[in-house]
Amino acid sequence: MAQISVPFLDLKQINAPYQAALKQACADVVDSGWYIRGSFDERFERAFADYCGVAHGVGVGNGLDALTLMLRAEIELGRLRKGDEILVPSNTYIATVLAVSAVGLVPVLVEPDEKSYNMDTARLNSACSSKTRGILVVHLYGRLADMNAICQFAKSRNLLVFEDCAQAHGAELECDSACGKQRMRAGSFGDAAAYSFYPTKNLGALGDAGMVLTNDAELADVVRALANYGSRKKYVNDYKGVNSRLDEMQAALLLQKLPHLDSVNERRRQIAARYVNEIHNPLITLPEIPVNPKEHVWHVFTIRLQSESARDAFVKYLENRGIGTLIFYPIPPHLQKAYAGEVGTLPAAGELPIAESMAKTVISIPMNQVLTDEQVTQVVEALNEFSC
């Protein structure tokens, strides 16, 4: 077969199937004469909260702000206090950790389970101190964390549960009775959840956008005020808020894309199944498909090599074959310069060996709904032919 190139992600192609609807949505916003927090925002908040099975959605400027404002609202409501400890996965994107430290809470990093890449629930107990007040779960790479275990643990310790859903749009759990419901989607498990609609996410805007979801009307009200200069009524400021509102253009575009999210995720699951079934190379560790495949929406397909040098060779090898790769993430949060020198906050180098080893060995291969079967075959063949 002739070699075809497989870019890691091509956003123009991702949005091409909706081109006409997106252009019409833009025109509708232009014609409306109302550009921030209007009827498109309201409709998208309703539609996305309904989709996730949550009572309230508050559109904000981006995913980091969604995380930050959700936590800050809990502080404003007196349910969290500065200095409280929040458990966070050690191998997450730095946004999760930044949100916690930005509002004066203390991130306590918990190592992941090496099979699921999600927070290892067996480590929750020893990570807790007398100051622990909450868990901020991340459904990393698109796979739901073990929410039954996490919710149960949180309940036993009276901890708040927050979800960073930036990679898990639409991931769903068939629930046991502990959750009281049959099917639950990412964002509906805890006290509040944060979503990002950054363009590369499974549901991506054409710019920045985010949302806080919660069943708590009071919390939603405070988030909405905080995101609007701390104001509920024009020129009356109840908090020292920020400006982080969802704009009408992004809301209108997201409204067009939301109805396609389930089929986008289904196509990603098909591709993941092919990768898992067809890639056979002892040098490559593949991710696991959950027993209930709907728990994973495959935001990225992340594999592991045996060493950093093997990964370097692998990246070059695929580059030569026209196949894109990306590392999620090459430097774990506790080793970032941003947190250097803050003694007593994040662990030092060497103290989180799993996150550190993952950062050296993980690599993500092309995974998105516009990959053709031929492109998937190309990737499979390349991986099967890789040797060190």
Ligand X SMILES: *Cc1c(COP(=O)(O)O)cnc(C)c1O
H/E element holding 310? helix 308-320
CA distance 336 to 159: 28
- Nearest approach in angstroms of CB 40 to ligand X is 19
Could you say which residues in the range 121-140 bind ligand X, by CB under 6 A? 138
Applying CB under 6 A, what is the total number of residues that bind ligand X?
15
Binding of ligand X by 63 (CB under 6 A): yes
Minimum distance of ligand X from residue 221's CB (angstroms): 23
| From 44-52, 160-168, 235-243, 253-261, span contacting ligand X (CB under 6 A) | 160-168
93 binds ligand X (CB under 6 A): yes
If binding is defined by CB under 6 A, does position 167 make contact with ligand X? yes
- If one counts every other C-beta atom within 10 angstroms of the C-beta of residue 192, the result is 28
Which listed residue (90, 96, 101, 244) binds ligand X by CB under 6 A?
96
Q: Is 62 in the site for ligand X (CB under 6 A)?
A: yes
Task: From 163-171, 256-264, 344-352, 358-366, give the range in contact with ligand X by CB under 6 A.
Answer: 163-171
* Position among 196, 361, 368, 375 found at the interface with ligand X (CB under 6 A): 196
How far apart are the C-alpha atoms of 195 and 101, rounded to whole Å?
Answer: 18
Q: Which stretch binds ligand X (CB under 6 A): 28-36, 91-99, 313-321, 350-358?
A: 91-99
Rounded least distance, CB 4 to ligand X, Å: 28
Binding residue for ligand X, selected from 29, 87, 95, 253, defined by CB under 6 A: 95
Backbone angles phi, psi at 291, to 5 degrees: -55, -45
Is 198 a binding residue for ligand X by CB under 6 A? The answer is: yes
CA distance 86 to 131: 9
Taking a C-beta distance cutoff of 8 angstroms, is the pair 356, 335 a contact? Answer: yes
Q: Residue 204 gets which letter from DSSP?
A: -
Phi, psi of 164 (to 5 degrees): -95, 105
DSSP state of 53: T
- The answer for residues whose C-beta is within 8 angstroms of residue 209's C-beta and 6 or more apart is 59, 60, 61, 62, 196, 197, 198, 246, 247, 250, 251, 254
Residue nearest to ligand X (CB): 63
Q: Which residues of this protein are in contact with ligand X, per CB under 6 A?
A: 62-64, 92-93, 95-96, 138, 164, 166-167, 196, 198, 208, 210
